[in-house]
A and B are shown apart, each in its own frame.
Chain A
Amino acid sequence: MRLFSSIINDIKIQFRSGFYYAYLFVCAIYVTAVFQLPDSFRSYGVFYVIFTDPTVLGFYFIGGLILLERRQKTVTSLFVTPLRLNEYLASKVVSLGLLGLISSLLIAIILLGGNFNIPVFSLTVILASAIFTLTGVTLGVQAQNINSYLFISPLYLLPIVLPVLGFLGIVSKNLFFFIPTHSILNLLNYSILDIKRSSLWIDFSLLIVWTGIAFCWAKSWFTKFIINQTGE
């Protein structure tokens, strides 16, 4: 119940802050842009767009959300109610994940029709988005303002993009298999580009484990930098 109403509340605030309008527009632009590509490149276009935007939008927005809640001290007022930190974080993950999922599905369905593996695709976007949102929490609790958040984030995310080097063929593909991006790329490859894989469950298990790790990490840094300080 608490979790459910927090999620509704977060979605409401995100909607009224213009997140959904912004993404509707952004999706329209992506769709238009990818339509310009030759047909044979279209699924690569979708792959690139999904990987670089809707899956990481949680990271982009969560910093601002946390900074604003800290500044307006709504965080403090939430923690004198029975709301648990777990629920607070889960609510952020779910609400931003929903925005990511809706945008991804919109883009993929318009551009590819039903021509991709929707369940695998959706689950991948949800898990990836959760990992990025939670990673964003760990930076958001320390950042002083949006600008420093946005410009420290590339350094912060550097380890996460390492597997891309593998997929570009610059290093061995399996060198970074343990980094979640490796699994995300594998699963998007599978669901969009139809590149066969026998062991989906390994990638999914890795992502689920990473989501758990990111959750604990976010929780402990939230506690360390906010709850154990002055609650602001």
Chain B
Amino acid sequence: MIQVENLHYTYPGNDKETIKGMNFTVRAGEIFGFLGPSGAGKSTTQKILFGILKNYSGSVILNKIEIKKVTSDFYETIGVAFEFPNFFNKLTALENLNFFRSLYQSKTLDPVELLSAVGLEQDKDVRFERYSKGMKARLNFCRALLNDAEILFLDEPTSGLDPVNQKIVKDIIRQQKSQGKTIFLTTHNMHVADEVCDHVAFITDGQINLIDSPQKLKVENGERKVKVEYYQNGNLKNQFFSMNNLADNEPFREILKNYRIETIHSQEATLEEIFIKTTGKRLI
């Protein structure tokens, strides 16, 4: 769906490159995530992918077309949510969505339903300037879905949201995928990358350090062990067991049978640990 080869980009007026040679492929129907600290170049790459930043070098092919050459009609087929919500202050949320909706000739979704999906139906007639940060972020997310596009670009879709709304947004992203959409998202939150992405790319300093599936990464980098915490004579104890043939592991079964279990955890690595191990940088 999206093929990027040898992508370099320098902002006009800057003398240093912001994107320093990227190669990656996003397959149709998957959720592809850019994970990296802020300032790494995630938003910049995304803006190149949907054609806002021109004058890049290398090639970016989207649906078999070089992105430099697309016309306005291309935008019928993609949905974009920028990192910072940008709407008309003087219009209400619904008026804003209705206006953006009217710019598409292709099929569009009902703005009121979209607003309800993210819990904004009560505030649909409130002017954008009166919206809180979290409300703005959710409205921003709605706009990307408006034209029921086959490719979605979401820049930090969960940032600025409370846990409940983060979950709502993540659920909608998964649901979009189940409808066959291709989704490209950026985040500096490893949980988001972990929970929704099929493939995640680690980005630091304008470069890709690694691309893989979160599941595989966690397994490969973790130890195949479980940690059991249990009470023995009122004392909290813990013990590690290999995951191989766990069902036949006698000491493990003894504990399960005889003591009150507090927790059982498999010891795969978290994405954040892997990120730090691979890139030497923290996710902030």
Asked whether the complex places CB atoms of A and B closer than 8 A, the reply is yes
What residues make up the interface of A, taking CB atoms closer than 8 Å to B?
A: 1-2, 5-6, 9, 12-13, 16-17, 72-74, 76-84, 227-231
Residue of A nearest to B55 (CB): A228
| Residues from chain B with Cβ under 8 Å of A74 in the complex | 86-88
Q: Complex Cα distance A215/B2, Å?
A: 36
Count of chain B residues with Cβ under 8 Å from any Cβ of A? Answer: 31
Q: Complex Cα distance A12/B54, Å?
A: 32
- The verdict on A73 contacting B86 (CB below 8 Å), with A81-B75, A82-B103, A231-B52 known, is yes
Interface residues of B in 62-85 (CB under 8 A from A): 72-73, 75-76, 78, 80, 82, 84
The residue from A6, A72, A82 contacting B89, defined by CB atoms under 8 A apart = A72
- How many A-B contacts are there with CB distance less than 8 Å? 73
B90 contacts the other chain (CB 8 A): yes
The residue from A6, A84, A229 contacting B72, defined by CB atoms under 8 A apart = A84
Residue of B nearest to A229 (CB): B12
Q: Complex Cα distance A80/B26, Å?
A: 20
A10 vs chain B, min Cβ distance (A): 10
| Residues from chain B with Cβ under 8 Å of A5 in the complex | 99, 102-103
Q: Complex Cα distance A76/B78, Å?
A: 15
Q: Complex Cα distance A77/B100, Å?
A: 9
Q: Complex Cα distance A78/B99, Å?
A: 10
Query: Which 6 residue pairs of A and B lie closest in terms of their CB atoms, listed nearest first?
Result: A5-B102, A73-B86, A231-B52, A16-B90, A81-B103, A80-B80
The residue from A17, A73, A78, A80 contacting B50, defined by CB atoms under 8 A apart = A80
| Residues from chain A with Cβ under 8 Å of B95 in the complex | 12
Pair A73/B84 contact, Cβ less than 8 Å: yes
Residue of A nearest to B79 (CB): A80
Pair A80/B52 contact, Cβ less than 8 Å: yes
B4 contacts the other chain (CB 8 A): no
Pair A230/B53 contact, Cβ less than 8 Å: yes
Pair A9/B87 contact, Cβ less than 8 Å: no
B104 contacts the other chain (CB 8 A): yes
B91 contacts the other chain (CB 8 A): yes
Pair B87/A81 contact, Cβ less than 8 Å: no
The residue from A77, A84, A230 contacting B87, defined by CB atoms under 8 A apart = A77
Pair B90/A12 contact, Cβ less than 8 Å: yes
Q: Which of A77, A79, A80, A83 has the most CB of B within 10 A?
A: A80
Pair A76/B11 contact, Cβ less than 8 Å: no
